[in-house]
């Protein structure tokens, strides 16, 4: 038991001061320990957050919350330095009693009045800044009012750095003055360094993730691009033959990955056999010259499909390694090649069509002059035969030759689409059926003719004689192509061609409904080199004297004139198929057949004004008309004809005139003569065809026209028809 006596006397003033100082020191020590403990606790909690947080903004928000909730500070916020003109500071996280302070206040890290605050100064200088009492710090004046309203008394701002470059700051506000001593500042500065490191780590990790994600996306896009382009990548060692193929290469080659090892030998084995030697040689030359590889070739899939490939490759320079490696791409260009072939075929078709049009124009011009001469030959021959003199048999021979020449001219004009015919709606099936017996006699007993009418409705607009001519020409051609026994098949069918098909190269370039007439034989066929020319006039593959070369040309002209289309499929040794597409008449009915009356030699009377700029034809026509009993006023020129009409005192019943003449055409002449002879009628004649003359005589309603060459019977009949009274 302590026997120390109790002191009853009060402490002296000196002792009292010592006791007070001791208690003050003890309190200060307790406060410092509290602050250090608080700072340590804040640092520890923040370090835990740094370890476990993977998002930068979430990390900053948690650190600010720890400062307030554990550190006991009034408010904490993180600001990032912007590089705009004002060098502003952007708040990115905050916690505590803020009440709009960050929105109302302007912060900058520029060396201006707004940049002298703790946050701006810290970012600008890179050093921690402490304001012990905001009431006494003049640099804090721009924010003093708003800070005081929220109970802020002291502030500490700590820099956030990466590689010694400041990118922001964390600023802490306390409700008491002089809240941050040296030890606490040191700990908080360590915390700021840790936070900077954590942010840098997160950013680096994020950058790596983005890079990896970008690489994955890029690889995916690259793969998708290869798939879209039907392309793949490859690599090969030319010395060892070892290869690397992408998945796309295996698909393009029609092979399954894993079923074989990619090698040069495997690649060569799928190349089209006829091209292998060429491809191997090209690669050897490229390797020898160390030049790029640029090849196009065919491959054969295991299922037999043939595809076009395009290979591009470049040499990998590796002088140290004992190898010669190429890398490159392989692209399936089959679709492109098919389009190129279609385009080339269309170009050839266009060129052929233009060529045929030019030939047609030439044929029309030749036929005009030829018709004029044939008119003279036939006319004089007929008149001589009518006289029945000693040269009768010779004249018959001349007439026969001239008639054949006239037929050849008509075929030329038909090809040139300059020959007009009276057309009507007819049933193609019925017309062909009526023609079968004649066709069988034409082709002979050694050839079987098969008729297959598949078209339920085969109404077309055509001249009946023209379909007979088409069938005869095609069956004779088929007969001549068959050696010994054979078969000819005639078929009809219906076909609808839509816009897509016509645009894609279908023979029928105009969409619509068609009747298809097909003539197929099993003869010798046509060589590929001859196919583009088979519709040309006078082109024939037959031996000399075996054909004129006008059969298919005539068929082409007839079909074209009927707004139809014709196509041919043939291969040497495998027969020929001619396909004719004629527009289907959807609303018409077949016309009843009519019988032709036998021609007669009519006689007449009256005055006829005859105008023809060819003297031979003028003389011939005058003789014909004289022979038939007409009074003829002949004129070589239109102006001469007008003069004759004005001087002639009697009535002129008819003007017979050529259409195309010097001075004026026949139509203009007729209009001028009507002023002199109001009741005058007209008969036009020409070696040109009616469609060519449409521009010259189209305005004459019910025009009378006769085409050269013509017989005397035809001429006098046309005269009588023209002289008939108008009803």
Whether the per-residue pLDDT at 391 is higher than 70: the answer is: no
Task: Give the up-direction half-sphere exposure of residue 702: CA atoms within 13 A in the CB hemisphere.
Answer: 8
Query: What sign has the CA pseudo-torsion 567, 570, 576, 577?
Result: negative
Tens digit of each residue's pLDDT (9 = 90 or more) over 671-686: 999 998 988 999 998 8
Domain-by-domain residue ranges, the chain?
25-205, 229-332, 424-583, 607-723
Which residue is associated with the tokens 């065919």?
A: 298
Extract the tokens encoding 306. Answer: 């043939």
Domains 25-205 and 229-332 belong to one CATH topology: yes
Extract the tokens encoding 283. Answer: 């690669």
Decide if domain 607-723 falls under CATH 3.30.1600.10: no
What is the CATH code of the structural domain delimited by 25-205?
Answer: 3.30.450.40
Hey, which of 134-143, 400-409, 709-718 has the most confident mean pLDDT? Answer: 134-143
Extract the tokens encoding 423. Answer: 């057309």
Hey, which of 383-397, 409-423, 517-531 has the most confident mean pLDDT? Answer: 517-531
Annotation: CATH topology of 424-583? Heat Shock Protein 90 (3.30.565)
Cβ atoms 64, 76 nearer than 8 A: yes
Residue ranges in 229-263 assigned as alpha helix (H): 247-252
DSSP-assigned letter for residue 255: -
Tens digit of each residue's pLDDT (9 = 90 or more) over 468-513: 778 878 888 888 888 888 899 999 998 888 887 877 777 787 888 9
Q: Span 361-378, mean pLDDT?
A: 63
How much is the pLDDT for 173? 95
Query: What sign has the CA pseudo-torsion 99, 101, 103, 104?
Result: positive
Nearest 10 degrees: CA dihedral of 16, 18, 21, 27?
-80
Tens digit of each residue's pLDDT (9 = 90 or more) over 235-290: 888 888 888 888 888 888 888 888 888 888 888 898 988 889 998 898 888 888 88
How much is the pLDDT for 27? 59
How much is the pLDDT for 4? 52
Sheet strand arrangement including 129-131 = 89-96, 75-81, 165-174, 154-162, 129-131
Which residue is associated with the tokens 């600008």?
A: 124
CA distance 248 to 224: 10
Extract the tokens encoding 460. Answer: 């077309």
Q: Which of the following CATH numbers is that of domain 229-332: 1.10.3720.10, 3.30.450.20, 3.60.110.10, 3.40.470.10?
A: 3.30.450.20
Whether the per-residue pLDDT at 117 is higher than 90: the answer is: yes
DSSP-assigned letter for residue 263: B
**pLDDT: which is higher, 218 or 724:** 724
């Amino acid at each position: 038991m302590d026997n120390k006596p109790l002191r009853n006397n009060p402490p002296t003033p000196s002792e009292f001061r010592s006791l007070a100082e001791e208690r003050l020191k003890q309190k200060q020590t307790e406060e410092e320990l509290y602050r250090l403990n608080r700072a340590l606790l804040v640092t520890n909690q923040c370090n835990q957050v740094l370890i476990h947080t993977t998002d930068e903004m979430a990390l900053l928000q948690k650190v600010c919350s720890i400062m307030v909730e554990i550190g006991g500070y009034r408010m904490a916020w993180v600001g990032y330095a912007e590089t705009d003109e004002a060098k502003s500071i952007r708040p990115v996280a905050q916690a505590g009693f803020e009440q709009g302070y960050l929105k109302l206040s302007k912060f900058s890290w520029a060396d201006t009045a707004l940049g002298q605050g703790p946050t701006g100064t810290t970012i600008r200088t890179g050093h921690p800044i402490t304001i012990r009492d905001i009431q006494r710090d003049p640099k804090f004046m721009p924010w003093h009012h708003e800070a005081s309203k929220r109970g802020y008394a002291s502030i500490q701002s700590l820099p956030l750095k990466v590689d010694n470059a400041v990118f922001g700051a964390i600023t802490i506000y306390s409700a008491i003055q002089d809240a941050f001593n040296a030890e606490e500042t040191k700990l908080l500065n360590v915390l700021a360094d840790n936070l900077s490191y954590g942010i840098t780590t997160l950013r680096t990790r994020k950058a790596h993730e983005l890079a990896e994600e970008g690489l994955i996306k890029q690889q995916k896009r690259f793969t998708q691009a290869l798939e879209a382009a039907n392309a793949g990548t490859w690599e090969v060692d030319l010395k060892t033959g070892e290869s690397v193929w992408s998945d796309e290469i295996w698909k393009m080659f029609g092979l399954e990955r894993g079923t074989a090892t990619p090698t040069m030998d495997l690649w060569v084995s799928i190349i089209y056999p006829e091209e292998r030697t060429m491809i191997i040689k090209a690669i050897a030359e490229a390797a020898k010259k160390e030049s790029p590889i640029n090849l196009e070739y065919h491959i054969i899939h295991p299922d037999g499909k043939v595809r076009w490939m395009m290979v591009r490759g470049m040499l990998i320079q590796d002088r140290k390694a004992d190898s010669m490696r190429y890398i490159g791409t392989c692209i399936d260009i089959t679709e492109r090649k098919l389009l190129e072939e279609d385009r080339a075929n269309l170009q050839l078709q266009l060129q052929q069509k233009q060529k045929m049009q030019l030939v047609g124009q030439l044929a029309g011009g030749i036929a005009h002059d030829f018709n004029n001469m044939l008119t003279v030959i036939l006319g004089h021959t007929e008149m001589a035969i009518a006289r029945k003199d000693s040269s009768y048999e010779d004249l018959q021979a001349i007439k026969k030759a001239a008639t054949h020449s006239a037929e050849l001219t008509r075929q030329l004009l038909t090809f040139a689409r300059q020959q007009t015919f009276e057309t009507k709606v007819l049933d193609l099936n019925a017309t062909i059926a009526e023609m079968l017996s004649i066709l069988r006699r034409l082709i002979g007993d050694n050839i079987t003719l098969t008729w297959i009418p598949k078209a339920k409705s085969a109404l077309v607009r055509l001249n009946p004689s023209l379909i007979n001519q088409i069938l005869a020409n095609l069956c004779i051609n088929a007969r001549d192509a068959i050696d010994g026994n054979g078969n000819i098949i005639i078929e009809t069918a219906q076909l609808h061609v839509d816009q897509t098909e016509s645009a894609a190269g279908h023979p029928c370039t105009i969409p619509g409904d068609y009747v298809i007439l097909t003539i197929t034989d099993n003869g010798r066929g046509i060589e590929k080199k001859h196919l583009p020319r088979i519709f040309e006039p006078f082109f024939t593959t037959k031996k000399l004297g075996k054909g004129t070369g006008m059969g298919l040309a005539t068929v082409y002209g007839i079909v074209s004139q009927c707004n139809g289309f014709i196509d041919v499929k043939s291969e040497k040794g495998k027969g020929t198929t001619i396909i004719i597409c004629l527009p289907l008449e959807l609303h018409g009915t077949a016309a009843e057949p009519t019988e032709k009356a036998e021609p007669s030699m009519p006689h007449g009377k009256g005055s006829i004004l005859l105008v023809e700029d060819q003297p031979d034809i003028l003389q011939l026509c005058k003789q014909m008309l004289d022979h038939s009993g007409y009074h003829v006023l002949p004129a070589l020129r239109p102006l001469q004809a007008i003069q004759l009409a004005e001087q002639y005192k009697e009535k002129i019943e008819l003007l017979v005139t050529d259409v195309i003449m010097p001075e004026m055409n026949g139509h203009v002449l007729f209009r001028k003569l009507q002023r002199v002879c109001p009741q005058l009628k007209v008969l036009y004649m020409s070696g040109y065809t009616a469609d060519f003359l449409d521009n010259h005589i189209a305005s004459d309603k019910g025009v009378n026209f006769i085409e050269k060459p013509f017989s005397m019977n035809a001429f006098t009949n046309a005269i009588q028809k023209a002289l008939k009274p108008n009803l």
